[in-house]
Structure 1
Amino acid sequence: QASSELSWDELRPIDPLGLEVGYRLIPLVDKNQGGELMARIKGVRRKLTQDIGFLVPPVHIRDNLELSANAYRLLVHGVPVATAEIYPDRELALDPGGALGQLDGIPGKDPAFGLDATWIQPHQRAYAESMGYTVVDPATVVATHLSHLIREHAPELLGHEEVQQLLATLAKTAPKMVEDLTPKALPLSVVVRVLQNLLIERIPVRQLRKIVEALVEHAPHSQDPTTLTAAVRTSLGRFIVQEIAGMSAELPVYTLAPQLERVLQESTHGNGVALEPGLAERLHQSLADCVGKQEARNEPAVVLVPGQVRAALARLVRHSVPSLSVLAYSEVPEDKRLKLVGTIS
């Protein structure tokens, strides 16, 4: 019998999120073998959907015999973004700082944050905890890593389809507002770009009504996603500051020395900054030092800058100093007390 003709059905759609596991990890994802990972992943999706503000897609799990037996890898739109090894019959002991003494076990790393850790036998758990270690089971290790990566890659997971679903949900309670937004005021592609811009800087899109209000208000003046993102950020100022500083009465901030501010303003073209390499390196170093000082004080690291350089500076430091928040003066609510911690020169 001749094999059937090829058809377009041969092309499988690529999953937005994938998890591939080596053969020793299969019991972790198999409910029949007591695997808890599926339930953990569902919990991660539920929490992130509420936190970030759009439905996190299902995670497609499959075994991959090309991986080493204890390895797994995470994929976003079919592209591997992280890989790690775990020991399914052991538990991971992490030192949160101040743990006493060493543990017997297999040295390893916490996959999500790269901290040194030790894989111990389950019976060592109580002893490790009594010494000040935090101990987590393998399913939690993978789920935490996945959660971290979904947050990091959120802008890539929010596309046209997802934004249409978001707007359809909002239209149930605010039909006129959504009707005024797209396609009347803005093409959908611009709305998508603005929401992605917010996610790139770790701002959740769950305040969708406020975001749409700002877009409807500013669309007559500009269709440029960067300009519109700045307008949306200003309207979300109170929310952004709370995401950074929680409920604390004061917001600790660094400012730029006037001369540096001027250099940045002169070197900003569109969304980018063209700084000579030596200056860019010194700026990165100064900002990284600020973050280090703030972390030692257990406070957020925030630099406050004029609106016209905010987007460009944020882009410049996004990967080199990821825990730094770059805010424009206009984004800070008038009733928020600022505490000037230092000036960057």
Structure 2
Amino acid sequence: MAVTVPKRLLAHTDILAALGLVGIVVMMVIPLPPGLLDILITLNITGAVLTLMMSFFLKEPLEFSVLPSLLLTMTLFRLSLNISTTRLILLNGAAGQVIQQFGQFVIGGNPVVGFIVFVILVVVQFIVITKGAERVSEVAARFTLDAMPGKQMAIDADLNAGIINDEQARERRRKIQQEADFYGSMDGASKFVKGDAIAAIIILFINIIGGFIAGVVLRGMSWPDALHTYTLLTIGDGLVSQIPALLISTATGLVVTRAGASEANLGQDLSRQLLSAPKALFITGAVLILLALLGLPKFPMLLVASVLILAGVLIRRTKKAEVGQESAAARESALAESKKPENVLGLLQVDHMELELGYALISLVDSQQGGDLLDRVVLIRRQIAGELGFIVPIIRIRDNMNLQPNQYVIKLRGAEVAGGELLADQYLAMGGGGKEDKIPGTPTKEPAFGLEAKWIHAMYREQAEIAGCTVVDAPTVLATHLTEVIKNEAWEILSRQDVKTLVENVRRQSPAVVEELVPDLLNLGQVQKILSNLLRERVSIRDLATILETLADHAPAGKDLDKLTEHVRQALARPILQPLLGKDKVLPVLTLDPKVEQQILDSIQPSDYGSYLSLDPQVLQDLIQALSREVEKMMLKGQSPVLVCAALVRINLRRVTERQLPQLTLLSYNELVPGVQVQAVGMVVPGHAG
């Protein structure tokens, strides 16, 4: 929680803090008058009390993140005061009114009592509070560092699920880093307080022995007077120093033992939690009454028991009244809500992508059951960004009781586009060349690519791998299917808002090309259409700067989006060809019969929505059958089926073949860049091409 402080109070605090730190060091070597020393001792006590109060009223430790540095400063300040008071005690036999009054008031002028009180204070501070706070800081630092990866993954999962936005994710990551730094610093800062306690004991004995020698030798005092005077002053000095040190140690312990962020401070948490159960108060009161009856002092026992029982009665009445008020308020709220006009705007929102799971697959998402699907979705979004160059929107993952227990459905803008069934506790074996038939399991088809496969139990996994099968778990099957769906439907997923985000990202690096193109030559919708054309054929738009530059070069000559898409493909020819080439840089391709290619060119008709083919249905069917035969031949040889044709033919023929021959890649002659060796392995000649 950020606290607002008037700017005038912060105007020169940095300079004052720097000068104050230098002054603390100077105090160690320059003698100070008793009056100034009294003021500084008072400031030390004030700072300790203020630190304790700040620690008490914290709601979370990070609100006091300056505490480690403050501990060092306060420890150094106390040591400087110890040195200054020691100098005055040894030189003058006096150290100001504050120390003198502490010696008289706190310990009644008795050095023996003062020494015992001082030792007890040091033991309490050193062994109990400081030691415990140091251990808590050490454990908290280690656990915070160990938990950082898990917390980061939880943030990514919440971001992916749409629970938080990017700004909230950044804030939570920053807070996790601050927590690790804070507890690490507190682990080291606790050593300052421990060292201060040790130094206090050493200074005590030095002052007593040195004062006794100075009083007897230099000031001519009798040894009983010297021992009494200097012991009293030294004990007073030690108490003046150790009481603030004890307050600081307590403040440190309060901060590091806060279990986490809370909506209330420590006092409110204590009162709310300790007084939350009236039964506990009644039982405690009854125990005190029993102890009084057994012979312990009756007045204090019965007094405290009466207070506890009375508090329990009042709390119980208050709770009943609050419950009644809440019930009445809930009824009034429900009645008022029922009278309001129905607001259905929230029902109109449609998610870009959804993944719905049957109840038997919920374990894939639940991290407490070992599910890592949310983490996989985060990796999928990163993978798509790296491969295709656009950011996949948030994928909502929810359960659907209307689905079969093992069924899942992938939706795009509310419409189902893919689905399948998984056996969450089994493995999918595929690609064994028929050897998997001997392994017990449930036959099925791999959902992403339609391969013959079989669900098998974990006990048969090794047997399937020996048989040459590819064996994957259920989350991997689902993640692979989801990845393929995103790649296939990327052109539909890409929205105008996504395009605006991508263009603005380019604008920050290359503002000239964006300003030249958008909106003077092409508007955002036209750019989106061209990018969708590219994604439809799985062409990456990651190099958006080159795409926009190409559009800026050719858009002045015409706004035909199909032709502009072809120009962009030519500019991206090398990355398009790269995955199609073999090790020897040879590109095996199919070609069209020149007569067929000319016939297609003659049948291209322009329209308001782009060009289209007006071929005779029989001719088109023969062409697709001929293409299918040639594609099958290439695939049997282990080659990627590629057809090369004219640019204008390419995009129109792609629209005809993309559903029946999705594995066929179409290239234009203009995309065959120098350095690529093209090998024609077949010509497509339809049986009724004429």
TM-score of Structure 1 vs Structure 2, range by shorter chain: over 0.9
Superimposed CA distance per residue, residues 133-185 of structure 1 (whole angstroms, 9 cap, x where no aligned partner): 11111111110110010001000111110011111111121011111110122
> Partner residue of 2:653?
313
> Partner residue of 1:264?
600
Cα distance in 1 for residues equivalent to 2:369 and 2:348: 29
Bigger shift: 141-150 or 105-114? 105-114
Contact 1:253 1:338 in 2 (8 A): yes
Contact 1:92 1:119 in 2 (8 A): yes
C-alpha deviation, 1:102, in angstroms: 2.2
> Partner residue of 1:334?
674
Asked if 1:184 corresponds to 2:524, the answer is no
1:97-108 alignment to 2 at 5 Å? 97=433, 99=435, 101-108=437-444
2:447 pairs with one of 105, 111, 118: 111
Structure 2 vs 1, CA of residues 85 and 329 (structure 1 numbering), >3 Å: closer, same or farther? same
2:625 pairs with one of 266, 273, 285: 285
Secondary structure of 1:339's counterpart equals: strand
1:125 pairs with one of 450, 454, 461: 461
Asked if 1:44 corresponds to 2:358, the answer is no
Asked if 1:82 corresponds to 2:418, the answer is yes
> Partner residue of 1:295?
635
Matched AA of 2:350: I
Contact 1:20 1:74 in 2 (8 A): yes
2:507 pairs with one of 162, 171, 188: 171
> Partner residue of 2:531?
195
Secondary structure of 2:520's counterpart equals: helix
Secondary structure of 2:341's counterpart equals: coil
Asked if 1:17 corresponds to 2:357, the answer is no
> Partner residue of 2:365?
29
- Extract unaligned runs of 5+ from structure 1: none
Matched AA of 2:527: V
Task: Choose between structure 1 and 2 for higher RCO, CA contacts under 8 A separated by at least 6 residues.
Answer: 1
Bigger shift: 100-109 or 318-327? 100-109
Query: TM-score, normalising length from structure 2?
Result: 0.49
Superimposed CA distance per residue, residues 3-52 of structure 1 (whole angstroms, 9 cap, x where no aligned partner): 24323543352111100011111111111221121111111111111101
Matched AA of 1:42: V
Asked if 1:231 corresponds to 2:567, the answer is yes
Cα distance in 1 for residues equivalent to 2:468 and 2:515: 56
C-alpha deviation, 1:208, in angstroms: 0.9
Cα distance in 2 for residues equivalent to 1:288 and 1:248: 26
Cα distance in 2 for residues equivalent to 1:199 and 1:96: 33
Contact 1:101 1:131 in 2 (8 A): no
C-alpha deviation, 1:96, in angstroms: 5.1
C-alpha deviation, 1:307, in angstroms: 2.0
Superimposed CA distance per residue, residues 87-130 of structure 1 (whole angstroms, 9 cap, x where no aligned partner): 11111111254646521111111111111211111111011101
Aligned length: 345
Cα distance in 1 for residues equivalent to 2:351 and 2:584: 41
RMSD: 1.6
> Partner residue of 1:158?
494
C-alpha deviation, 1:303, in angstroms: 1.1
Asked if 1:65 corresponds to 2:401, the answer is yes
Contact 2:432 2:467 in 1 (8 A): no
Contact 2:589 2:682 in 1 (8 A): yes
Cα distance in 2 for residues equivalent to 1:63 and 1:191: 36
Matched AA of 1:112: A
C-alpha deviation, 1:237, in angstroms: 1.6
C-alpha deviation, 1:247, in angstroms: 5.9
Contact 2:436 2:454 in 1 (8 A): no
Bigger shift: 326-335 or 128-137? 326-335
Cα distance in 1 for residues equivalent to 2:449 and 2:646: 32
Query: TM-score, normalising length from structure 1?
Result: 0.96
Contact 1:272 1:316 in 2 (8 A): no
Secondary structure of 1:38's counterpart equals: helix
Cα distance in 2 for residues equivalent to 1:135 and 1:191: 42
Bigger shift: 240-249 or 281-290? 240-249
Contact 1:21 1:71 in 2 (8 A): yes
Cα distance in 1 for residues equivalent to 2:436 and 2:456: 16
Matched AA of 1:94: M
Matched AA of 1:290: E
Larger Rg: 2
> Partner residue of 2:474?
138
- Extract unaligned runs of 5+ from structure 2: 1-334, 686-690
Asked if 1:209 corresponds to 2:545, the answer is yes
Contact 2:436 2:464 in 1 (8 A): no
Matched AA of 2:472: V
Matched AA of 1:318: E
Bigger shift: 41-50 or 214-223? 41-50
Structure 2 vs 1, CA of residues 127 and 320 (structure 1 numbering), >3 Å: closer, same or farther? same
Superimposed CA distance per residue, residues 285-335 of structure 1 (whole angstroms, 9 cap, x where no aligned partner): 111222212222222211111222111111111111111111111111133
Secondary structure of 2:556's counterpart equals: coil
Asked if 1:274 corresponds to 2:274, the answer is no
Cα distance in 2 for residues equivalent to 1:97 and 1:333: 38
Query: Share of identical aligned residues, percent?
Result: 38
Contact 1:155 1:196 in 2 (8 A): yes
Cα distance in 2 for residues equivalent to 1:269 and 1:50: 37
